[in-house]
Amino acid sequence: MTIGARIRRLRLEQGLTQKGLALQAGVSQQLINKLESGKGESTKHIIKIAAALQVSSEWLAVGEASLSVFALEAASVEDRLDALWERVQRLEAAQKERLVLVLERLLDDQEHAGSLSKELKALSLRLAKLEQKQS
């Protein structure tokens, strides 16, 4: 299976259009189209596309290794947060507001359970800073 076939398969499984995947990955729809049709081999954007599809870039590029992005040895929590943060910054204002509400609920649940994770705190702080910049 080619990289284009893997991208197309995952995109369709996740109910995404080429444009939707392009927006999530921060690339152009034309690039997604070229990759899926086998007319392009952009290794430069594989990490972004893999993050948007929630798979490992190694699996997406060569079809080997673990399919899960979370199984990557090199994918530390901070790397994953950075990739997620890039996606958050591309959301529309209404989507960001919904995300903030979800994160606040998660934080409340975690606080009540007494185990607020530092990763959620970091993401929450980043969102708060983004909201301040937009105000």
CATH number of the domain encompassing residue 19: 1.10.260.40
> Does the structure show a pLDDT above 50 at 83?
yes
Q: Which domain holds residue 103?
A: 91-134
Specify the pLDDT at position 110: 64
With bands split at pLDDT 50, 70 and 90, how would you rate the model's confidence at 102? confident
Dist CA 45 CA 27 (whole Å) = 8
Residues 55 and 101 in one domain: no
Q: Which of 40, 71, 102 is the last residue of a domain?
A: 71
Residues 7 and 67 in one domain: yes
Query: What is the arithmetic mean of pLDDT over 23-41?
Result: 89
With bands split at pLDDT 50, 70 and 90, how would you rate the model's confidence at 42? low
The tally of domains found in the chain comes to 2
Q: Does residue 7 lie within any of the structural domains? A: yes
Query: What is the arithmetic mean of pLDDT over 79-99?
Result: 79
From residue 64, how far is each of 1, 21, 30, 36 by CA, in Å?
11, 22, 26, 18
Residues 14 and 67 in one domain: yes
Q: Does residue 52 lie within any of the structural domains? A: yes
Q: Does residue 81 lie within any of the structural domains? A: no
Q: Does residue 76 lie within any of the structural domains? A: no
Dist CA 85 CA 58 (whole Å) = 21
Dist CA 130 CA 48 (whole Å) = 21
Q: Report which of 52, 63, 61 is spatially closest to residue 88, judged by C-alpha positions.
A: 52
Q: Does residue 18 lie within any of the structural domains? A: yes
